[in-house]
Amino acid sequence: MDYRLKQGESVPEGTRRMAAEQLDRALEYLDCQDGERDKHVHEARKATKRLRALVRLVRRDLGDEVYALGNQCYRAAGQRLSGLRDATVLVETLDRLVESLGEDVPK
């Protein structure tokens, strides 16, 4: 899944293909049940960021209404995922801090 136009591919075709691939990728990561939830949430967030970037790139061709809807949708999805990601990072940071302090951890 390349995030670029293929040789001979028109911009509208490539844009639709890339958007579909990123959306599929995000959904696959969120549907995955292999025990690596945190990694999959992170990857899904990256895919939504790519989708927003793509929407911004073709904003003029989409028109204001379609752009606003797409941008709002992908931003909201990313924000929902960021809460999960942020919680994971906080726990990991606390674990590393406790590990580095060893016996000096206040109880």
Per 3-state DSSP, what percentage of the chain is helix, strand, and coil (rounded to 5)?
Answer: 80, 0, 20
Per-residue pLDDT 10s for the chain (107 aa) are: 678 899 999 999 999 999 999 999 999 998 888 888 888 989 999 999 999 999 999 999 999 999 999 999 999 998 888 887 777 788 888 888 888 887 776 66
The per-residue pLDDT for 95 is 84
The per-residue pLDDT for 60 is 94
Query: Rounded to whole angstroms, how far apart are CA atoms 84 and 77?
Result: 12
Supply 4's token pair.
């670029």
Q: How far from each other are the two terminal CA atoms of the chain, in whole angstroms?
A: 49
- Give yes or no for a contact between 28 and 78, defined as CB atoms under 8 angstroms apart: no
The per-residue pLDDT for 36 is 84
The per-residue pLDDT for 84 is 77
The per-residue pLDDT for 105 is 67
The per-residue pLDDT for 32 is 84
The per-residue pLDDT for 20 is 95
Query: Rounded to whole angstroms, how far apart are CA atoms 104 and 107?
Result: 9
Q: How far is CA 27 from the centre of its chain?
A: 10
